[in-house]
Structure 1
Amino acid sequence: MATVQLWSGLEARALRGALRMSVRGFAEHLGVAVRTVSKWEANGAATEPRPDTQAILDTALARADAAAQVRFEVLLSEADGGRQRAGGPRTWDYESWTEDVDRAVAALGGQNFPLADSLLHRWLHRWSPHDLDDKGLYLFARSTTLVGDLKRDQGAVLGPLSAERSYAAARSVFTQLDIPRRVAQLDLSLAVVAEMSGKLDLAARRYETLAVDDRLSRRDQARARLWVGTALSKSGDHSYAARVMAAATRDFEELDEPDDWSVAHQKLALAHRGAGDITQALHFIGIARSTGTIAGPMQRVRLDTAHGHILLSDRATLDDGLTILDQAAKVAAQYGMSHQLRSIEDIRRTTYRQFADGDQGELNDQWPGRDHG
């Protein structure tokens, strides 16, 4: 249903046209004077009805039938009221765009990539940034950021149609709009891209800088601190990584962020696995599994992948680890998480090579029919 945030003479004229009424008939329909309607239409976007009349216009639009509401939207989008740039979105466009951004966030949370892509690109393909005012540019940058999140979760990290390219484009717009917090959040996302593409030293340096960046909230600073540990662990410095992660975990507890606290335990578990302390690794992954909210398939896959990875560290729990990894791979394939699939396959190959130095026959019995690479 069409809605109007703030009525002016422009919207009032569009509503009269949509209802196919004369000036006199429209005035009688609203219960206002004919000269009032004439004044609205003469002044267009430069005049705003009184608050009580705004409510009357809201009611008239809400009670209009579906055909009239469609006509209203078309008339309003074609009108040249001067309040937005020529050819740019109208008020109702912005409201619909905002709703679709919210829907895209929910779709990404559930790894419904096709729906999120459709919701975002229906707006990004409609207008050039040159046609947008500040409100439109903000929505354009938010949508482009979410496209970056989508590409990242799909594993398209680098290249022309990648998370890196989308994040950089969104960062440029937020810089133009002078919104430092959003710029810093994009810097954090670009650091994640660097880590995912194997640039661990670069990622760690960026995380360290952002962990004390006043543009970010305390929660985002704690995330940056946690990801410093992730990059260190991936580069083999597991003991130091665990200490850094433990500090971030305490931050999440102080901030009362239970989901981030749980994710931190998952990463702590992997750092201890890398250091060879399987007992501690199992302890921390147990906390992560029992305390975190599984918000969507991505978190489930990450948690199962970490758990399976730890279990594969011991030949006695190899079968259990393989079973959990297989489950994670099925979910990742179902939702198109190619980066997660690659990680799972890398874990399988590394584990096989690790144990291949032992009893090859026994390993083949435990790992039948697999491509050991």
Structure 2
Amino acid sequence: MATVHHWTGLEARALRLALRMSVRAFAERLGLAVATVSKWEKLLASTVPRPDTQAILDTALGRADASVHLRFETLLSEIGGPAQVQAAAGRRVTASGPRAWEYESWADDLDRAVVALSRQNFTFADSLLDRWLSRFKAAGLDDLDDLDDKGLYLYARSTALLGDLKRDQGTVLGPLSAHHSYADARSIFTQLDIPRRVAQLDLSLTVVAEMSGKLETAAHAYETLAVDDRLSRRDRARARLWVGTALSKDGNHDYAIRVMQAATREFEDLTEPEDWSVAHQKLALARRGSGDLTQALHFIDIARRSGTTDSPMQRVRLDTAHGHILLSDPATRDDGARVLDRAATAAAQYGLVHQLRSIESVKASSEGPMGPRLRR
């Protein structure tokens, strides 16, 4: 059932409409003057009932049946949007913030967005995030006397998830990019003084730097984060793995392999099978880069057999890595091309633009001069 932490004329009007009462009938039900209810109707969120009247409204809402609660929540979601409410003369104009009942709905939508992103259902995830990010702004939420800064926290988390969406779609830099969303979310979590979230955003920003080709910068940042106590042990292990990824992309395969193997052991100790699988995929590519195709095929086979996720993104990554390795050997070149074509089809289906670019890059590099001498 809906509850209201702080009544204004806006919520009072929504309750009247949910009860399907006229202004006069609503005033009589509450035991108030018609002029009082008329004032609420006119000034909406810029007027606040007295404390004793707030208690009367609490009682009226509490006694209402489920159908009234449903209409009340629906009306608030429709009329309590981002538009600023006109205040009385001489008063500051303030934005309407989320009501108490909306916090739970917002948090539920973020959980649903996480699941949608894990399945690369970008359209649905974007609609869930836009539902809240288009209604509220960080500056407006910061001005409100929210309980425990819930609204601002949820806004920051929504912005961080929007960054994940943009990153997975391949929109890495620019005003509507992963980098921009991550930076905004980091600023809010810094303001809220939540060090763990700030460090997680530092990790995400480093991933963006790596994706945009700043490999040396990314490797140094990962090294710092790999020993950052603000992060969980799992996130520190991921940072260590990604040190190896950046080094391998930059051609430093031997050292990359050593770093990745340390991260792999960490994932095994943590009992993180999915991360362990991903680590073997990265190891396979590093072995391929060093010219050791036998070990590359060994590690990619482990990654394919041990992965537990049903994520299209991870399937595309596995196929891309496998195809890259097969394409490196003239004896399996045709097989590699078929695996890469399959990966490209899936990447296009799910809108994985960055993965498509990676696949095209692999294909292009295979048509040029041969890389390092390969060992079988």
Tell me the TM-score normalised to structure 2 length.
Answer: 0.79
What SS does the corresponding residue of 1:100 show, helix, strand or coil? helix
**Contact conserved, 2:117 with 2:165, CA < 8 A, in 1?**
yes
Q: Which residue is equivalent to 2:282?
A: 267
In the aligned structure 1, how far is the partner of 2:173 from the partner of 2:248?
22
2:18 aligns with 18
- Select which of 101, 114, 118 maps to 2:123: 114
1:223 pairs, out of 238, 241, 251, with: 238
Q: What is the alpha-carbon distance in structure 2 between the residues aligned to residue 143 and residue 95 of structure 1?
A: 14
Write the distance in 2 (CA, Å) between the matches of 1:222 and 1:230.
Answer: 13
Fraction of identical pairs, as percent: 64
User: Which residue identity is paired with 2:141?
Assistant: L
CA distance in 1, matches of 2:251, 2:309: 28
**Partners in 1 of 2:80 and 2:65 — Cα distance?**
13
Which of 176, 184, 187 is the equivalent residue of 2:199? 184
Q: Deviations over 1:150-193 (max 9, x none)?
A: 11111111122211111111111111111100100010011111
Supply the distance in 2 between the matched residues of 1:264 and 1:48 (Cα, whole angstroms): 60
Quick check: 345-354 or 220-229, which moved more? 345-354
Structure 2 residue 157 is matched with structure 1 residue 159: no
Q: Distance in 1 between matches of 2:5 and 2:184?
A: 34
C-alpha distance in structure 2 between counterparts of 1:44 and 1:255, whole Å: 55
Residue 9 of structure 1 contacts residue 45 of structure 1 at CA under 8 Å; is this kept in 2?
Answer: no
Kept after mapping to 2: 8 A contact 1:9/1:47: no
1:70 and 2:98 matched: no
The equivalent position to 1:105 in structure 2, one of 106, 109, 114, is: 114
How far did 1:137 drift?
1.2
Q: Distance in 1 between matches of 2:209 and 2:52?
A: 51
Are the equivalent residues in 2 in contact too, given 1:12–1:57 (CA < 8 A)? Answer: no
Report the CA distance shift for 1:280/1:66 in structure 2 as closer, same or farther (over 3 A): same
- Residue 169 of structure 2 aligns with an amino acid whose one-letter code is Q
Alignment map for 1:319-358 (pairs within 5 Å): 319-354=334-369
- Structure 2: 5+ residue stretches without partners: 32-48, 88-93, 143-148, 372-376
1:132 is paired with a residue of what secondary structure? Answer: helix
Per-residue Cα deviation, 1:128-148 (whole angstroms, up to 9, x for no partner) = 212114211111111111111
Q: 1:132 aligns with which of 110, 122, 141?
A: 141
Q: In the TM superposition, what whole-angstrom CA distance separates every residue of 1:327-367 from its partner, at most 9, and x where no partner exists?
A: 000011111111111110111111121359xxxxxxxxxxx
Query: Residues 1-373 of structure 1: matches in 2 within 5 Å?
Result: 3-4=1-2, 15=15, 18-19=18-19, 20=21, 43=51, 60-64=64-68, 66-67=70-71, 70-71=74-75, 86-133=95-142, 134-354=149-369
Deviations 1:47-94 (A, max 9, x none): 699xxx99x96684435375455346668889x9xxxx7521112332
Report the alpha carbon displacement of residue 311 of structure 1 after superposing the two structures with TM: 0.8
Secondary structure of residue in 2 paired with 1:111 = coil
Q: Is the 8 A contact 2:164 2:178 kept in 1?
A: yes
Contact 2:327 2:333 in 1 (8 A): yes
Q: Which TM-score applies when normalising by structure 1?
A: 0.80
Q: Is the 8 A contact 1:14 1:76 kept in 2?
A: no
Amino acid at match of 1:4: A
Root mean square deviation, CA, Å: 3.1
Q: Secondary structure of 2:369's partner?
A: helix
Q: How big is each residue's C-alpha offset from its partner over 1:82-138, in whole Å with a ceiling of 9 and x where there is no partner?
A: xxx752111233233222222221221111222222221232122221211421111
Once the two structures are superposed, residues 249-289 of structure 1 have per-residue CA deviations (whole angstroms, 9 ceiling, x without a partner) of: 11111111111111011101111111111111111111110
Q: Is the 8 A contact 1:195 1:203 kept in 2?
A: yes
Cα offset, 1:44, TM superposition: 5.8
Structure 1 residue runs of 5 or longer lacking an equivalent are 28-40, 357-373
CA distances 1:286-321 after superposition (whole Å, capped 9, x unpaired): 111011123311111001001111111111111111
Measure the CA separation in 2 of the matches of 1:45 and 1:229. 63
